[in-house]
Amino acid sequence: MDLLAELRTRKLLAIIRADSAATALACVDTLVEAGVTALEISLTTPDAVAAIAQARATHNPTILIGAGTVLTPAQADQVAAAGATFAVTPAITQGAHRAVHLGLPLLCGALTPTEVVAALDLGATAVKIFPAKTHGPAYLRELAAPLPQAPLIAVGGIDATTAPLYLEAGALAVGVGSPLLGPAAIGGPLPDLTTRATTFRQTLGL
């Protein structure tokens, strides 16, 4: 699978940080039903590795299910064994190094030009610009100017209104957590999650 091509097509990466594995799985099922087919379960979720394994076993292989907040080599090993499609890190962590070593596609967190280049030199498949909201779409456009071939994903504080602006600025996709998940991350109404997912998809032309 060409992960970059898939993310460019899907444009929206749902970031799930839930209060339990069961809640995370309910959110995954709801989002997939709503047409969101690229998802990341953060390891800040209790029993996240088990949730990743269950989600991977339940859903079609065309559904991208990654592991987020991979900090340590042990975590990289665990999510790879669970069948994660990719690993996501907040920075150039030891977990990022291990993911590359394992051949697990990596979305590596970075912010500055130096960090972006370091992440790509490490072997990251794409670079997660985080926190994106702090600097806005204009900053991403400035980053992309000297690094036009760098595959960038904007993450952090992005809502349905601003999401298209990051794509216009050069991001290949946007990663969205709480503005999409909302109360569903703590067991809130799943029909409302469906509505938010539909709004994001419509805004992004999906």
Active site residues: 40, 128
d(CA 48, CA 151): 27
d(CA 14, CA 26): 13
What sign for the dihedral angle of Cα 132, 12, 107, 45? Answer: positive
d(CA 151, CA 172): 7
Torsion over CA of 19, 20, 23 and 28, rounded to 10 degrees?
100
d(CA 130, CA 187): 26
Contacts of 187 (CB under 8 A, 6+ apart): 19, 23
